[in-house]
Amino acid sequence: MKKILTLLCAAVLSATSYAGDFPDITVTEVKKAIDDKKVVLIDVNGSGSWKAGHVPGAIDFEASAKELATKLPKEKDALIVAYCGGPGCNAYKAGAEAAKKLGYTNVKHMAAGISGWKEAKQPTETGDAKKGSTTSAAGGKFVAKVDGVVCAACEGKVAKAFTGLGASNIKFAKGDKEGQAVVTFEGTVAQDAAAKALGDFTLVSLEAAK
């Protein structure tokens, strides 16, 4: 009995230590880090799940484990966030440990996982990494910020670009600065395709409508 209790205590201490190595980060915090371009995400749900839907920009750990070092930033203090299915999933540890072994010192865990990300109505990407990803969101409603909309005919050109990609119900509003338009629409649009279709205009962001 004493031996069993000793083993249980050791297991608890080990789990506590492990949790300390990879502190949790919330969906809101991850979203802000993505917007600020200050995070690299590692999806540890498997390639099938990654193709079906992952946090935009997340690395497919199953497909990239052997070359992970080439996909992570040079700065060893960069924020690295690993995640898997949800709060009860421990698969993220493989990605987090891999990053830690490569010398990264700011590795965190998004405990909410992809399920929590979707429940928060955040956008996801689907598709094959070799063929490019498509951004999608619950309800298919998006908000894009576009810079360079400075002329009377510019809104029409931007609308035509999004319409050509399958968007509908396109509406415009003024952005945070001069020449920036906030474009709301419905549909599924690939970020890289949108950036290309906009031509001389600059796609600043593309995310799910709140």
The one-letter amino acid at 87:
P
**pTM > 0.85:** no
Question: Which tens digits make up the pLDDT trace of 136-162?
Answer: 444 467 888 999 999 889 999 999 998
Q: Are 182 and 208 in contact (CB under 8 A)?
A: no
**135 pLDDT higher than 60:** no
Mean pLDDT, range 47-51, rounded to an integer: 86
Contacts of 101 (CB under 8 A, 6+ apart): none
Domains of the chain in sequence order: 2-123 (3.40.250.10), 137-208 (3.30.70.100)
SS3 category, 136: strand
- Where is 13: in which H helix or E strand? helix 2-21
Confidence band for 6, pLDDT divided at 50, 70 and 90: very low
Mean pLDDT, range 29-53, rounded to an integer: 91
**27 pLDDT higher than 90:** yes
Q: Are 42 and 81 in contact (CB under 8 A)?
A: yes
What is the crossing angle of helices 92-101 and 2-21, to 10°? 70
Neighbours of 42 (CB within 10 A): 27
What pLDDT does 48 receive?
86
